[in-house]
Amino acid sequence: MIMRNIFITLITFVVFSFALQAQTPFSVNIQAVNLPQAPAIQSFAHAEWEGKWLLLGGRTDGLHRRQPFASFAAEGNNTQIYVVDIAAGQVWQRPVSELPAGLQEQLQSSNMEHFQHLDTLYLIGGYAYSASAGDHITFPYLTAVHVPALIQAIIQGQPIAGHFQQLQDDRMAVTGGELGRIGDVFYLVGGQLFNGRYNPMGPDHGPGFEQVYTNAVSRFRVSSSQGQLVILNYETWFDEANLHRRDYNLAPQIFPGGQLGYTAFSGVFQHNQDLPFLNTVDITPAGYTVNNDFVQYLSHYHSSKAPLFETANQTMYTLFFGGISQFYFNENGQMTEDPDVPFVRTISCVSRDANGQMLETRMPVDMPGLLGAGAAFIQADNTPELANGIINLDAIPADQPMLVGYVVGGINSTQPNVFWLNGDDLSNASGSILGVYLTKTTATGVKTIREKTRLPSN
């Protein structure tokens, strides 16, 4: 749910130099996949099983409009559940209208937090128009989906309702956050409760709305008792200053020393200005750490991303594909700031070495258009991986391209700043599927770029 406020707070800027080092031991290539029947959706949930994708929820239109009457219209809800066999080039679909009301409404919402563990996809919250509530709401549900059984039922035309479990719990009424898992513990990070119709003039103007950021990391376990979902050991780490984030990228990480965890990259909005966060937050079972020593200039809203780990150098890499960013590169290759936070074509990478030092790199290849926001990265079936879907860079052969995954769907924008324009055809949900190829290089070149840029003072 990429919401922008209409008012931009005045900011004081400082000018300084920074170094951007390009030293990734791999290159990236993007190739379009021809699948005309692929669904055009954005901000959806997904799972994968034996080469087949399960796609649920999201929206079939582009960036939400500024006008409350047109924003997040029910007609733009995705009301289908899709199965995609990318190798065979086949797509199947079933309507959510076959399901009970609670499932039917949640499964056509956007920005559900989701995580696949083994054969189960867990879904939390999401925002959409609810016919039963007579308004737009954030859904108070935790839903578990048995992925292989649902995929098989959709393909064979069998009943689908028996492959879902749903629990109503107000603590699950979150949209725009992210869901991870370490061991048997889920981590619900950031997000918000948003009820009512979006209005850029504020919550008390016109139709009005309720907006409450979680400002938190919530940890809990999920079990199934007598066919019912149960939430156990729920606890919250609350931090209004640093966890006030939504619509961002949460990526699994292997930290120095081998600790598995997550990093929350950027996100919106800062407390004192209508701009993205430029720092990151690291999350492990021991707690969370705010990293103010690293500045993330690129990829500020939720987009497709791919984590990779190189064991030989104990280095973590996280690739970000397009999306929306406060900073971009102009035609002369210079980093430029746009406080309107436009759609961009940039593919970037954030690395963390064995000493914990983080660097951001602009990859030399761009997205083929203003794509990536609200998209998903789905790994190719035979991609070597470590824990939590982290790609094993050591297992990729050197000096030959390997398909590691796909950038699926998302928003396709015709211009960088369509939010400030009127019209319903300036952006759309994309049906594109882009194959991502990595080529691991045997030698690494280092290039340092120094730019003058304008940054908000703190």
For 19-42, write each residue's pLDDT tens digit.
Answer: 344 579 999 999 999 999 999 999
What does the pLDDT read at residue 274?
A: 87
Q: How many Å apart are CA 418 and CA 414, to the nearest integer?
A: 8
The residue ranking higher by pLDDT, 364 or 22, is 364
Domain count, the chain: 1
CB under 8 Å to 15, separation ≥6 — which residues? 452, 453, 454, 455
- Flag the least confident range among 104-118, 207-221, 351-365, 435-449: 435-449
- Domain membership of residue 244 (yes or no) is yes
Residue 391 falls within a domain, yes or no? yes
The four Cα atoms 289, 189, 285, 354 give a dihedral, to 10 degrees, of -50
Give this prediction's pTM.
0.93
Asked whether residue 164 is assigned to any structural domain, the reply reads yes
What is the C-alpha to C-alpha distance for residues 339 and 336, in angstroms, rounded to an integer?
10
Per-residue pLDDT, 67: 72
Query: 3-class DSSP state for residue 209?
Result: strand
pLDDT tens digits, one per residue of 252-262: 999 999 999 99
**CATH code, domain with 186:** 2.120.10.80
Report the pLDDT averaged over residues 341-358. Answer: 97
Asked if residue 3 is part of any domain, the answer here is no
Task: For residue 357, tell me if it sits in a domain.
Answer: yes
Predicted pLDDT of residue 71: 80
Residue 306 located in a structural domain: yes
Tell how strand 402-408 and strand 433-440 pair up. antiparallel
- In terms of residue numbers, what domain contains 250? 16-456
The answer to whether position 153 is within a domain reads yes
Q: What pLDDT score was predicted for residue 4?
A: 53
Encoding tokens for residue 304? 């497709």
For residue 4, is it within any domain?
Answer: no
Distance CA 192, CA 209 (A): 13
pLDDT digit string, tens, across residues 285-299: 999 999 999 999 999
Residue 2 confidence (pLDDT): 59
